Structure 1
């Protein structure tokens, strides 16, 4: 039998709510963070104080994970990669059309009109199509992100950063201590205005590593409507993923 209790902890003004699920099947505490919240799985014989102490010690990690899920918005849509499904590119919806190409070594994707044509072998697995579509998006992302980063850096008056297109499913972008900007390839599905926001945000971190008042002021100067773009990305972010 699993018994569930609801708890919350305050980390510097930010509240993390979580459930504790006790089960005889567990010997240690496990913490998971997802779109449905924070779950703590614990052994039946471990008291609340000990469990809460373990959760509190994972505070920084929990806050980072929750921030990532908030940034992406709702849970992503589940795709089956079949004809008729909708995928987005630069904010525009495209219908997938799968076609047979017996000479194809791997699934090849091309945008034609309002469709994304996925061309592959007759017996191609769903995973083959997913990989082909992801490869196509990454190729497009490299071009669009580099040009946008150049424009944002020019507005801010800094050198254009190195852009790395990566697979980071819980974040749209990040900027490391060396000023290199990492961008989630899925971002290329979003409208250009939202791509610009994410890249502007990360470019501003070249000047200010944290989210200080100076950081937000720099972002506001080069993008006065950034708050509205944040809200739109939060509302629509789940559409731009698979």
Structure 2
């Protein structure tokens, strides 16, 4: 997503850094904590100083939420890339099945029903095997993302009344998407693991930046016009986002 202005202050020996975004939909300040940090939504007519003062008052709550979120992320079991593990595609779970194949010089993952089949060489070193399976899964997801994202972008662009902007699928661990000044959109391949409604939110957010390069009143009005429930989608993406990072 387009980079929002960062604000920071110290509290109790901790530095709290948050992204400030403004929207005409809000009469009060809303704070959310997600896998990519702290996000603050504020009314368009509230000064930065007043917003900062509000966030300071909420600092104990913010730090508590950050701590709980870190604990939640820690509780998420790291992937071992072995048979039986669950991986998601478009929000639906798929079971990984690892099979030995003497011809599997490269591990190319294929979907069979609700199973992701990963062929590997027999008697392969365990670490090498896991790396090969991870690489195979990443390639499979990248290809799915390259096929799925343009389809969704075309729909969103039509809703906005613009031509579909240039799109690249990229590998990044901290952002779901971004839009540069030229209007080119970049989307994280991991997003294809999320439900389509959340994919559409990120794409809609970035497509609106083609019209407005900041989080102005016009930006949020454009987003709200094509996606009235965008705030609930943001909250859901914040809740599940950490599960999609491996």
TM-score (norm 2): 0.71
Counterpart of 2:190 in structure 1 is 186
TM-score (norm 1): 0.72
Please list every run of 5 or more consecutive structure 2 residues that lacks an aligned counterpart in the other structure: 1-5, 20-32, 40-68
Q: Structure with the greater relative contact order (CA < 8 A, sep ≥ 6): 1 or 2?
A: 2
Once the two structures are TM-superposed, the CA of residue 241 in structure 1 deviates from its matched residue by 2.1
Once the two structures are TM-superposed, the CA of residue 239 in structure 1 deviates from its matched residue by 2.0
Give the 3 Å change call, closer, same or farther, for CA 151–17 of structure 1 in structure 2: farther
CA RMSD, Structure 1 to Structure 2 (Å) = 2.5
Please list every run of 5 or more consecutive structure 1 residues that lacks an aligned counterpart in the other structure: 1-10, 21-37, 39-58
How many residue pairs align between the two structures? 191
Q: Does 1:168 align with 2:172?
A: yes
Counterpart of 1:93 in structure 2 is 93
Cα distance in 1, alignment partners of residues 235 and 10 from structure 2: 21
Counterpart of 1:235 in structure 2 is 239
Q: Which moved more, 1:205-214 or 1:135-144?
A: 205-214
Q: Which structure would you say has the larger Rg? A: 1
Cα distance in 1, alignment partners of residues 99 and 12 from structure 2: 46
Render the CA deviation track for 1:18-71: whole Å, top value 9, x for unaligned. 857xxxxxxxxxxxxxxxxx6xxxxxxxxxxxxxxxxxxxx9xx556x987138
Q: Does structure 2 conserve the Cα–Cα contact (< 8 Å) formed by 1:77 and 1:241?
A: no
Cα distance in 2, alignment partners of residues 151 and 170 from structure 1: 26
Cα distance in 2, alignment partners of residues 113 and 71 from structure 1: 38
Counterpart of 2:205 in structure 1 is 201
